[in-house]
Amino acid sequence: MGNVKMTIMVTLALGASVASADKLSDFKDAVAKKGCESIPYSDYRSSCQSQQDQVHDWCDGARGPVTCGSEAITRQVKDNLEKEKKGVEELKDKRSKLQDSKSRASTDDEKNKIGKDIEQVEKDIYEGEKRVEQAQKDLETRKKLVDDAIYTLDKCVDYRRAVMNSFAAALDKVRNESETPEIADLARQLRNRYEEGKSGHEEQITARNNALSTCKNSRP
């Protein structure tokens, strides 16, 4: 019975020693690397990596626009459309008045002259309506850009926050690592790195949230 207990104790000790050596190796690897690779816990590291890939796609412009420009752009596009519409309405009023004048004209020369004026105004109306159509397309294009950017930025912020949360979880865990003096020292290095990197994550999220707010305020 004594030999069995001794064997179990030796086996457990060896197991603990191997586990400690594996953890030390994981921490050494983590300290030597950057980004998600600097997380020594495989589950947190894997989660971080899967989210980080999405961050690049959604925050760097590969999946859609990540800026709408200034809110003034939308106002300019809308103002231009209203201006072109107003211009066409004014031309139509002018045509109506000319037609009325032509109907009251007393001589052929006067009617011919007014008729030519009407022809010119009708050409102007045609050109004006084409500008209105283009201005409407410009507004639709602007709306699509804004809507696409809002969707993209929402995704970007979600994935970037998920990456930050992976580091936050790793930070909570490394704070309690003290199994051996060497592991404790490596954990302290990682903790300091994670804490320094936190502000970088927060700055990026704030920047994207500001861009998102601008886009929402830029909806036509």
pLDDT at 21: 77
Q: Is 155 in a helix, a strand, or coil?
A: helix
pLDDT digits (tens, 9 = 90+) for 186-214: 999 999 999 999 889 999 999 999 999 99
Residue 74's contacts (CB-CB under 8 Å, 6 or more residues apart) are 68, 142, 146, 218, 219, 220
What is the Cα–Cα distance from 69 to 99, expressed in whole angstroms? Answer: 46
pLDDT at 12: 39
**What is the overall mean pLDDT for the chain?**
91
Domain count, the chain: 1
C-beta of residue 64 within 8 angstroms of C-beta of residue 151: yes
List the domain range (segments joined by +) for residue 79: 2-217
CATH number of the domain bearing residue 171: 1.10.287
pLDDT digits (tens, 9 = 90+) for 52-94: 999 999 999 999 999 999 999 999 999 999 999 999 999 999 9
Closest CA to 209 of 171, 167, 158, 162: 158
